[in-house]
Amino acid sequence: MDLRKKLVFFTRLIRLLAFVFLVVQYLLVRERYQASQIIPVIAGLGVFYIIMDRVIFRVPEERFKLASLSLMLFEMFLVSLLIYFTRSRPIREFEYLYVLPVANVALWFGMREGIAYAAVAAAEFSLTLALAGRIEWPASAGGILGTSIFMIVAAYIMGFMADFAERESAEKARRMVELTTVSGFATLFDSTLLEGKVYTNLCNAVSRSVNPDVVLVFKLEKDGERLAVAACDGVSESEADLEIPVGYGVIGRVLEEKEPVLLMDTDTEREFRHLLESQRIRSAVYAPMKWRDEVYGVALAGNQERDSLNENDLNLISALAVQAALAVHNSRLYSDLEDRIGELHAIFEIDKAITSAIDLETVLQQIVQMSVGLMDARISSIMLLDEESEELVIAAAQGLSESYIKKGPIKVGESIAGKVIQEGRPIAVEDIRRDSRHAYAEQARLEGLCSLLSVPLSLKDRVIGVLNIYTDEPHVFNPHEINLFTSLASQAAIAIENARLFESLEEIYIEVITAMASAIDARDAYTHGHSQRVTEYAVAIAEEMGLAPAEVDIIRNASILHDVGKIGIKEEILKKPGRLSEEERREMEYHPFIGTKILHSVRLLEPVMPLVYHHHERFDGTGYPDGLRGEEIPLGARIISVADAFESMTSDRPYRKAMPVEDALAELRHNAGRQFDPRVVEVFMRLADEGKIELEWSQSRVIALSDRFGRAGM
């Protein structure tokens, strides 16, 4: 039930009691008066009370005041009639019935209207007494004055009570609205984890809560030196990009003192600065977005009129700013958590990628690429330490020019990287162009390098190099970035060492296998140098066919190792001067399988195995071991097949003499399309005709197989 209805019920009760008093008074002295005059007035007053009750409850809100004031005047008129008709024998205390309409007006509409009606009632009372002939000067003056003062005092008391109740009710309603507003927007703030959305929500909350002309929400930038508008309302597009230093005007004071400020009139505030050109702010509220001891920005609400904002607005905006600060705090925690999760995932992926690679060059390139991605930079390099010369050399880089990469080695203890090796700790430099420790400041300037973070590639007992990340603009690397990059460097160091160990192991194993291949060739004078000559032919064919360098190297290595399986064939079969028996032939045909088994344990030689296994397949499908035909046979195996056949035909064997070169070439042409790939034979013939391959061999051209072993593509 609202206040107006409570007051209506209160005045209804008072009127009922007054009417009962009136009736009782009349009944006690009715013989003194003419019933024809008094009874209609009393009855009319009762009917009036009933009608007024109905009208007050049904009149529309916009007509309530006019209707109420009119009815109160009519009620005073009825009281005046009652006093006039009882003029011969006045009933005492009837004049106090004027207080009822006066009190009603004061209770319903406030002290000012109540006192005004008290004055009207006093005047009407005095006029009624004068018309009734009841004024006797100066004896009557005290009574009239006392009654008038009583009416005014009653109006004052009732009005004060009404105003107090109204203010109390308004204050409760306002606080309820504020609590509802703050609660509603707190829910809205909590519903988003995007920092930018929080500033927008705060701007909307302030606009809807106090309806100001201008709202500016300033965000404190990460450098702590600037405030930038993050959200706004009521300003121009150019003003929406406003930036100010942290110590600027009242905003700077609010940011420093972390307390809200209310300006009723900005003209009286010396620190106030007019931030806007589109409109002039005359009253303003500044509220810091503060959570605990951290301030994230300032919310500003302004109006063009003086004294249009008050303490209530200050409290409400401050409460909203605190809620927004908490939301910003949570959003940053969530963002940091996401970043940490992303970084951990990135570190995991980097670790998985670099540790799965076994080729040192690939590992180094992956490290610099992933460094750039992880640190959101564009330039990275790895420098490895030569322990004998104690010099650092760039082994891999991304974003650096060839001239900078080849600028020369750095001694341990020299420049930034050399000091990182010497001290075994990370070094961060904001601008290497101005740092006296950097040995290549001019080259860095020409390269467009600015900030540098250099961390050691450390193993348990030694440092093997440094990992560098560069920026092209000044940047202060924070402890988190340094720790993150150091973690990457630790993984990188392990991956580099593993690749080196694997490479050394592979080299040792390859040397053993190539030695085995050489041993096979050396088992008799007839096959000495066979693998080398096959390699020369096969590589020449592959290059003439335009194969990629990596494919050429695979063919080179397969050619060297194509007969490594013969290490498992009996020597009497290999040196038998006559035709092989069926059983001996089957054993000889088993050598590609033996060779593949030998190579299988070396991952570096995986691309070689299909060529070694299939180099005795025939183009028409009658070869071994799998009877593949045509394009089913790997191209490298088809190339080795031609090279192997030609070299065998032009070399002495225990069971025959070497065939003349012309006859061997004719044999290749004759078997093109049956034993050999016609396209490969055609290329070989062209090389022979153009003199690009040496068809006649001498002992001086036989060199160690291990010196010819290819590494590209492995």
CA-based torsion, 455, 460, 463, 465: positive or negative: negative
Instruction: Say which residue, 495 or 613, is predicted with more confidence.
Output: 613
pLDDT in tens, 656-700: 788 888 999 999 999 999 999 999 999 999 999 998 888 865 433
Mean pLDDT for 567-578 is: 77
Rounded CA separation 50/71 (Å): 12
> Is 60 exceeded by the pLDDT of residue 446?
yes
Q: What is the pLDDT of residues 490-517, one digit of tens each?
A: 888 888 887 777 777 767 766 766 676 6
pLDDT, greater one: 370 or 380: 380
Pick the range with the lowest mean pLDDT from 229-233, 464-468, 481-485, 571-575. 571-575
* pLDDT tens track for 300-341: 999 999 888 888 888 888 888 888 888 888 888 877 776 666
Residue 500 buriedness (CB in 10 A; 0-12 / 13-18 / 19+): middle
pLDDT at 444 over 70: yes
Per-residue pLDDT, averaged over 536-540, amounts to 94
d(CA 619, CA 600): 26
Q: Give the residue, 247 or 188, on which the prediction is more confident.
A: 247
pLDDT tens-digit map of 6-49: 666 776 777 788 778 778 877 877 777 777 777 887 787 788 77
Tokens of 186: 């707190």
DSSP 5: H
Which whole-number Å values give the CA distances from 145 to 99, 107, 329, 358, in the listed order? 14, 23, 69, 114
113/72 Cα distance (integer angstroms): 12
Spatial separation of the C-alpha atoms in residues 288 and 265, rounded to whole Å: 20
Given a cut of 70, is residue 162 above it in pLDDT? yes
Share of the chain above pLDDT 90, in %: 18
CA distance 203 to 303: 15
Residues ≥6 apart with Cβ < 8 Å to 622: none
The pair of three-digit structure tokens given for residue 594, joined into one six-digit string: 């033996």
Lowest-confidence pick of 203-207, 336-340, 388-392, 572-576? 336-340
DSSP element (H, E) containing 467: strand 463-471
Q: What is the pLDDT of residue 284?
A: 93
Largest distance between two CA atoms of the chain? 171
Q: Rounded to whole angstroms, how far apart are CA atoms 406 and 442?
A: 15
8 A C-beta contact, residue 266 and residue 284: yes
> Is residue 555's pLDDT more than 90?
yes
Whole-angstrom distance, CA of residue 540 vs CA of residue 256? 79
For 667, counting Cβ atoms within 10 Å of its Cβ (0-12 exposed, 13-18 middle, 19+ buried), the class is middle
Cα–Cα distance, 671 to 684 (Å, whole number): 13
* CA atoms of 383 and 360, how far apart (whole Å): 13
Cβ within 8 Å of residue 56, ≥6 positions away: 8, 64, 67, 68, 71
Q: Is the dihedral of CA 622, 623, 624, 629 positive or negative?
A: negative
Q: Specify the pLDDT at position 410.
A: 86
Q: What is the pLDDT of residue 52?
A: 75
Partnered with residue 379 across adjacent β-strands are: 470
474: nearest Cα among 433, 440, 426, 415 = 433
Residue 436: exposure state from Cβ atoms within 10 A (0-12, 13-18, ≥19): exposed
pLDDT tens digits for range 636-662: 999 999 999 998 888 876 667 888 889
Check residue 704 and give its pLDDT. Answer: 40
Question: Which one has a higher pLDDT value, 499 or 139?
Answer: 499
Please name the amino acid found at residue 182.
V
Who wins on pLDDT, 699 or 376?
376
525: nearest Cα among 588, 575, 580: 575
Taken in order of first residue, the domains within the chain and their CATH numbers are: 3-170 (no CATH), 195-336 (3.30.450.40), 357-498 (3.30.450.40), 522-708 (1.10.3210.10)
Model pLDDT for residues 78-119, shown as the tens digit of each residue: 888 877 877 766 666 677 788 888 888 887 788 888 899 889
> With contact defined as beta carbons under 8 Å apart, do 450 and 474 qualify?
yes
Tokens at 306, concatenated: 């003086």
For residue 518, is pLDDT > 50?
yes
Mean pLDDT of 427-452: 84
**Residue in the block written with tokens 């050619």:** 559
Nearest CA to 471 among 455, 443, 451, 454? 451
Q: H or E stretch including 464? A: strand 463-471
Residue pLDDT, tens place only, 239-282: 888 889 988 889 889 988 999 999 999 988 888 888 887 888 99
Q: What is the mean pLDDT of residues 202-220?
A: 88
Cα dihedral: 459, 463, 465, 471 (round 10): 90
Place of tokens 């080729």: 359
CB environment 384-397: b (16+ within 10 A), e (fewer): bbeeeeebbbbbbb
